[in-house]
Amino acid sequence: MTSEAHGSIALSVDDLVVRFKRPRASDVQAISNVSISLPARSTLALIGESGSGKSTFARAVCGLVPSTMGRVQVAGVELQQGGMTARDAGAAGIQMVVQDSGGALNPRWPIWRIISEPYRLMQKRRGTELRTLAAKILDDIGLPAEFLDRYPHQLSGGQRQRVNIARALAAEPTIIALDEAVSALDLSVRNEILGLLSRLKQSRELTYLFITHDMGAVVQIATHVAVLYLGKLVENGPVREVVQQPKHPYTRALVGAVPTIGKPRAATVVAQGEADDAGAPPPGCRFHRRCPFVADVCRTTVPELTAYSGRQVACHRIQEIDDLLSEGGRT
């Protein structure tokens, strides 16, 4: 995305590659030369099918998996790559909240201790000060003070997810990566947590990397959207463009089912077959075996991400496809 227009950059990722070794199988290049920047106070939704590399991207940025190559900068300051740890990322201002599986919180600790742990570790605070700080954050995330002495098993899924968010906030981040953070919640609780995230973003001037399969949540919360396909960025831009008027054939297929309110829909595309194995991605455009518009060049040459119609798209035939589909064609 063209971030200069939005002021300062919170997170800048340049040419990131993450490769995993697999026993008795080819390496997986889960993230393949991805470059992206998040303007300060934006919410970038990272979308793509299962296995496209969304979690790996977030985990690499948060220092939870080593990157093979590339650069990550937080507010212009470069983080050490390869050997970067979650602690380094935390110190630079990045925290991660994952889907509530019930296991992310220490079951033996009361909530006040869980929430205040980052203060103890990062700011060397001690004693009753920790409880006071926990009480303040608990209030911020909308839970009453009596929750301070409860344990994770006494909380509902939504309350636990609030505590996960509180714990991330205690580290005083500027960026929070939310990996399927509302996915396990029922609809009303999901909406409450999305509302909470929006309020916190305003009051604490946060930037979010928001990973989800839930296109409704993308429309509700995101300012920008990036689409991954087998570890490659295929489309990236403001949410209004990418979700309401998707251009890349894969994005059109992915967001095709999203209901829109009072806006004309871009023509959808039906992707053929299943995604290829990330360990052996096809040459050229990684989407070519499933794309109804495939041409010879797509089978041999990797399409570069280039500016097109208010966003970036990686597709050799983008103009032709756009012309064809805007004439009302539907494949």
Ligand X SMILES: Nc1ncnc2c1ncn2[C@@H]1O[C@H](COP(=O)(O)OP(=O)(O)OP(=O)(O)O)[C@@H](O)[C@H]1O
Give the Cα separation of 110 and 94 in Å (integer).
24
Structure tokens belonging to residue 106: 């220490």
Helix (H, G, I), strand (E, B) or coil at 273: coil
Q: Residue 99, interface with Mg ion (CB under 5 A)?
A: no
Q: Which of 23, 24, 50, 76 binds ligand X (CB under 6 A)?
A: 50
Provide the minimum distance between the beta carbon of 24 and ligand X in the complex, in angstroms, as a whole number: 12
Q: Residue 25, interface with ligand X (CB under 6 A)?
A: no
Neighbours of 174 (CB within 10 A): 18
Beta strands 9-22 and 25-39, pairing class: antiparallel
Phi, psi of 210 (to 5 degrees): -115, 110
Provide the minimum distance between the beta carbon of 119 and ligand X in the complex, in angstroms, as a whole number: 30
Give the Cα separation of 139 and 143 in Å (integer).
6
- Residues 53-92, mask of contacts with Mg ion (x by CB under 5 A): --x-------------------------------------
Provide the minimum distance between the beta carbon of 61 and Mg ion in the complex, in angstroms, as a whole number: 13
Q: Residue 303, interface with ligand X (CB under 6 A)?
A: no
User: For residue 3, what are the CA distances in angstroms to 10, 60, 203, 214, 242?
Assistant: 10, 21, 22, 25, 16
Amino acid type, 121? L
**Binding residues for ligand SF4 restricted to 196-255, rule: CB under 6 A:** 249
Structure tokens belonging to residue 117: 């742990």
Provide the minimum distance between the beta carbon of 242 and Mg ion in the complex, in angstroms, as a whole number: 20
Q: Which of 278, 291, 298, 305 binds ligand X (CB under 6 A)?
A: 278
Closer residue to ligand SF4 (CB): 147 or 287 = 287
Residue 250 host element (H or E): helix 249-255
Provide the minimum distance between the beta carbon of 10 and ligand SF4 in the complex, in angstroms, as a whole number: 30
Q: Residue 313, interface with ligand SF4 (CB under 6 A)?
A: no
Q: Which of 11, 16, 28, 47 binds ligand X (CB under 6 A)?
A: 28
Task: Note the residues at the interface with ligand X (CB under 6 A).
Answer: 20, 22, 28, 30, 48, 50-56, 278
